[in-house]
A and B are shown apart, each in its own frame.
Chain A
Amino acid sequence: MNAREHLNLSPDSAAVRRVPTGPARRGPSGIEPARLTAGQPGTARGEVHRQQGRVVIDARGVYYKTLNEQIREEIEQGAREIVLENVIGQRYIGTGLAYRGVTVIVNGVPGNDLAAFMNGPTLIVNDNAQDGVANTMNSGLVIINGDAGDVLGYGMRGGSVYVRGSVGYRVGIHMKAFGDSRPLIVIGGHARDFLGEYMAGGEVMVLGLGPNDDPIVGSYIGTGMHAGVMYIRGTVAPHQLGKEVRHQEPGPEDQARIREIIHDYCQVMNISEAEVLARPFVKIYPYTSRPYGRLYAY
């Protein structure tokens, strides 16, 4: 005889433990799973407030697909500034948006692939951003007023990304410049390993501001880099560098460019230019555009 029979308990454990019991709790039919978050597919639209060219959309509980549709609709209807409130994890905000003169302001944590393939708009995030920001971005400006995740600016070909805080791994990987397009990433805080890996053009700047006493950049910096330039504020140890790059003190031309970048960044971020420029920079650049010319035997 087992314990349950002996105690004459029901198959449900309610009599023994105060765990799962009671009727189905949610859903109109009693068997529909509940929709708990914006992350689950759903058709609910965000509430919209319009004031001249400015549009505010409440993203609470809005699935990303609907939200991005709403953003497009508003732009098509003439909105020039769109504010998204209560954003939480919605993906692809600004992705593929190709409108110049449009600003999208995100209040909350946006989801992955923010501003991917973006071509023209300005996108401002007033919180942290997740992974894959500005993936293959073409032009425009992304401002993150917090930290950002891994793989920011992958294959980016133009435009600028300003991050106030720190970024994760593999930032600026395979950025490239062509013709007039020259992508720029400025990171106010710190960056982890593989910064500027395979970099084929453009500029990356890391400032290392803030109280964090981690190294400003991680290891394997610029590994496989074969064009473009990185400016790191502070010092970089040789063991942190990829084997395809050199580091040196910036020359006069570099200094001018550094001041230019800092000027723009500080204006946007509203921080003291002089303070940022108070510490010297080190320039990291590839020593050849063909790092693997001698690797192979024919």
Chain B
Amino acid sequence: MRSVRPAYREESEPRILGGCGLMGVCDQSGKRMSGELAVRAMASMHDRGNGLGGGFAGYGIYPELPDFFCFHLLYNDEVAKDDTEFYLKKHFKVVIEEPIPTKPVRGIENEPILWRYFLDIPEERLVETQLSAEDYVVHTVMDINTYLDGAFVASSGKNMGAFKGVGFPEEIGEFFRIDEYKGWTWTGHGRFPTNTPGWWGGAHPFALLDYSIVHNGEISSYGINRRYLEMFGYKCSLQTDTEVVTYLFDLMLRRHGLPVEIACKALASPFWKDIDLMPKEQRRLYTALRLVYGSALLNGPFAIVLGMADGMVALNDRIKLRPLVAARHGDVVYVASEESAIREICPHPEESWMPQAGEPVIARVSEKGRRKALTQAKQSAGQRRIAQIHTTAGVT
């Protein structure tokens, strides 16, 4: 049992029950948008949550330090922080450590100590452990979340971060000053927790490396998904079904190198009835997919948005038991639980559609666009200071 105490809010007025709400927006040209967009879309779906969890993930938000792993940490107390920092310093070169900037917002209380670290991995540690940098990070994240009491890694990717806590999403957004960040991809979530109490770490997104997941629904196959992941060294310690989705994507995309479309077809596989009607080669592929990744099948109602370094994927369960709407305007792709949330931030999209069950909506930020955005951001931040940081951290 984790010692993170669930911080339940007093309910001041009767709330109408709804269910989780989620959104995602991605500018495929790499242009960076204010996080306010995500906050506004989530605010419009206020009634889908119950104030026990809200959160956002932004990509491209730390353009000055895009090459370091950025850990967002949630601490119960100073002891947890001291322990974790000892651990981090043992395993990483800590380039920068600082509090995550927040501001007081009515309704947000009992917040944990929020800190972020920009980390570099000493070369000799990788040689010693024979791990890739990414696997090294996964190990340390699992260690902290599993063994360091009262500490929780909210995100651990590069040039991205997850901001989440107990409250309505618009409150959380304001608390974390999301509107002051700019990113090319944003995902957001308002939570209606059922199975796990509303604690800060339990809010969405769930992030590991560059992958982040916001999720509406419940994974009825959690038991076997978890046991499957444990076979590959993932530790599911968060008492929630959503973390398995994040780890499954990490496993299939990063470690197994599957194309994201195909990974989605394993998580929400077509029915045998439909596979049987496919042309031969395709049938062979989909049959193999179900055979090999049967334990990764996410069964039960879900809509998810996966944030990645180079874009965003939205996916529904195989019989579409949770809502999902998509739209596109120019280079920007929008997804949300309700069409009105998209209209809130894009009143007249060029096209809008309801994705089919198990059919992923994929938005990709062009490599060129991302580079351009980074260059621009770096220039405006002032190269001199960046260089100074790099010198300090021993980075060349």
Instruction: Enumerate chain A interface residues (CB-CB to B < 8 A).
Output: 2-4, 6-7, 9, 11-27, 29-41, 64, 88-89, 91, 108-112, 128, 130-131, 147, 149-150, 166, 168-169, 192-194, 219, 239
Contact = CB atoms under 8 A, between A and B. Distances in A.
Centre residue among B99, B277, B338, B380 by max chain A CB count within 10 A: B338
A150 B274 CA distance: 21
Interface in B236-269: none
A268 to B, nearest CB: 23
A26 B103 CA distance: 11
A164 to B, nearest CB: 15
A89 to B, nearest CB: 3
B271 to A, nearest CB: 8
Interface in B126-183: 168, 170-171, 174, 176-177, 179-181
Contact of A193 (B107, B179, B357, B385): B357
B62 A37 contact: no
B340 A7 contact: no
Contact of A20 (B47, B107, B177): B177
Contacts of B64: 16-17
Contact of B45 (A16, A17, A30, A89): A89
B388 interface: yes
13 contacts: A3-B393, A4-B97, A7-B389, A15-B385, A16-B64, A21-B180, A35-B43, A40-B168, A88-B44, A89-B45, A112-B338, A128-B339, A194-B319
B213 interface: no
Nearest to B163: A20
Nearest to B390: A3
A111 B338 contact: yes
A6 B393 CA distance: 10
B104 to A, nearest CB: 5
A36 B319 CA distance: 34
B98 interface: yes
A198 B389 CA distance: 65
Chain B, interface residues (CB within 8 Å), range: 35 or more
Contacts of A16: 64, 96, 98, 385, 389
Contacts of B94: 2-3
Given A19-B181, A40-B46, A219 B274 contact: yes
Contacts of A193: 319-320, 357
A39 B61 CA distance: 27
Contacts of B177: 20
A145 B104 CA distance: 44
Contacts of A32: 105-106
A296 B170 CA distance: 52
Contact of A33 (B62, B101, B105, B340): B105
B40 interface: yes
Contact of A17 (B338, B341, B381): B381
B224 interface: no
Interface in B338-396: 338-341, 343-344, 352, 354, 356-357, 380-381, 385, 388-389, 392-393
B381 A88 contact: no
Nearest to B276: A239
B13 A3 contact: no
Given A2-B96, A11-B99, A89-B339, 13 more contacts: A2-B97, A16-B385, A24-B104, A33-B106, A37-B44, A38-B44, A39-B341, A41-B46, A89-B44, A89-B338, A128-B339, A169-B320, A192-B356
Centre residue among B13, B323, B393 by max chain A CB count within 10 A: B323
Interface in B5-47: 13, 39-40, 43-47
A172 B138 CA distance: 47
Interface in B53-68: 61-62, 64-65
B98 A24 contact: no
Nearest to A18: B381
Nearest to B336: A89
B85 to A, nearest CB: 9
